């Protein structure tokens, strides 16, 4: 999945596949997670959020199924 670099202290890049509703996050630690069943609206809100890490903690963490892929 293609990811775009973002300005964040905790998140390096973010990618999204709309057909499968899969959000991919690359963290500064080097780990990569995929979150599933994430709607396009939430992805766009994340990309506009001033704090990507805070948005992830508030709206994605423990709210969507995920797996570590890297």
What domain range includes position 56? 4-68
**Sheet containing 11-17: which strands, arranged edge to edge?**
4-5, 11-17, 22-27, 32-35, 66-68
Mean pLDDT, rounded, for 29-49: 97
Mean pLDDT, rounded, for 3-21: 96
Strands (E), the chain: 4-5, 11-17, 22-27, 32-35, 66-68
Q: Please determine, for residue 1, whether its predicted confidence score (pLDDT) is greater than 90.
A: no
For the chain, the domain total comes to 1
Q: What is the distance, to the nearest Å, from the Cα of residue 56 to the centroid of all Cα atoms in its chain?
A: 7
Q: What predicted TM-score, i.e. pTM, was given to this entire model?
A: 0.94
Q: Dihedral sign for Cα 29, 49, 6, 66, please.
A: positive
Both tokens of residue 24?
């991919």
């Amino acid at each position: 999945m293609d990811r775009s670099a973002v300005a964040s202290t905790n998140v390096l890049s973010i990618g999204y596949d709309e057909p499968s509703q899969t959000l991919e996050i690359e963290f500064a630690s080097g780990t990569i997670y995929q979150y599933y069943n994430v709607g396009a609206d939430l992805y766009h809100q994340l990309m506009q959020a001033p704090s990507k890490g805070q948005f992830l903690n508030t709206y994605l963490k423990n709210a969507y199924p995920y797996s570590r892929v890297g």
